[in-house]
Amino acid sequence: MMQNLTVLGTGTLGSQIIFQSAYSGKNATAYDISDEILAKLPARWEQLKDNYRHDVKDATDEKLDAAVSRIRTTADIKEALKDADIVIEAVPERLDIKQDTWKKVSENAPAKTIFCTNSSTLPPSKIAPFTDRPEKFLCLHFANEVWKYNTGEVMVQPKTDPAVFEEVAKFAEEIGMVPIRIKKEQPGYVLNSLLVPLLDAAADLWVRDVASFEDIDKTWRIATGAPSGPFQIYDTVGMMTPYNLNKDATDPVKKEFARRLKEDYIDKGRMGKIAGHGFYDYD
């Protein structure tokens, strides 16, 4: 059993992975690049406690406090990795940042450590050569709001050892995820292969003024029975991810979508559901 987890990156999803793992009884180390970033985590844990109280049937104050007690934080990569059984990387979606991160991890991680990336868009075979153990490198991908939407997409790259693949699937199950075994490298895994075309289509309709984002969401919810429309999903994901994915696009509609996100939302502090404001306002 892999008991000691290190998560690299404490943003929206990284912090959720840390908290969910600790809630499931794992020892979780949260690593980020500065103490200033890490100082924000206690407030994040309080916010996540509220989410669990609302959404998780067995959540009690005692269990939630115990989860926080199993989390430690550090901005020292060597300290973060010293006893890690498994590492999950959740740093920004830029290949150069991920490659540099994994070089540092390889220099400091014990031989036993299994390496996982949570990258949503970058194939693991692009990252594996920058590790010292490609046979122990693969993807473990989470959906946002992991305590509620609890898929754990486990995906190989060509050099992944099948036994390691199964170990990670078992770990996903141990932290309350439903393991989805992806047998070959697929950009976007299963979830984003289905979700991204929907979100792109919604952005296209909105940017071209075909319909308001409210009516686009309403159409999707009513006609399909889905609990959330695409712009509600954008709010859950947060504005920075779609902005980063679209800002350098050659397609003029995608470029305009990124511009609107920045000027009308990001620059005004409307960063999505986590901030209380995105396309919609949240209590």
Per-residue pLDDT of the chain (283 residues; tens, 9 = 90+): 899 999 999 998 999 999 999 999 999 999 999 999 999 999 999 999 999 999 999 999 999 999 999 999 999 999 999 999 999 999 988 899 999 999 999 999 999 999 999 998 889 999 999 999 999 999 999 998 999 999 999 999 999 999 999 999 999 999 999 999 999 999 889 998 999 999 999 999 999 999 999 999 999 999 999 999 999 999 998 999 899 989 999 999 999 999 999 999 999 999 999 899 999 999 8
In sequence order, which residues have a C-beta less than 8 Å from that of residue 69 and are 6 or more positions away? none
Residue 5 sits at φ, ψ, to 5 deg, of -110, 140
pLDDT of 93 reads 84
pLDDT of 187 reads 85
DSSP annotation of 97? H
Size (the chain), residues? 283
Q: What is the rounded distance in angstroms from the CA atom of residue 28 to the CA atom of residue 171?
A: 13
Give alpha helix (H) positions in 118-274.
124-127, 162-174, 191-207, 213-224, 230-237, 240-246, 252-260
Q: What is the rounded distance in angstroms from the CA atom of residue 203 to the CA atom of residue 205?
A: 6
Q: What is the rounded distance in angstroms from the CA atom of residue 44 to the CA atom of residue 15?
A: 8
Q: What is the rounded distance in angstroms from the CA atom of residue 270 to the CA atom of residue 244?
A: 16
pLDDT of 196 reads 92
**E strand or H helix that includes residue 15:** helix 12-23
In the three-class reduction of DSSP (H, G, I as helix; E, B as strand; rest coil), residue 182 is classed as strand
Beta bridge partners of 216: none
For residue 165, CA distances in Å to 14, 91, 116, 154, 237 come to: 21, 22, 10, 7, 27
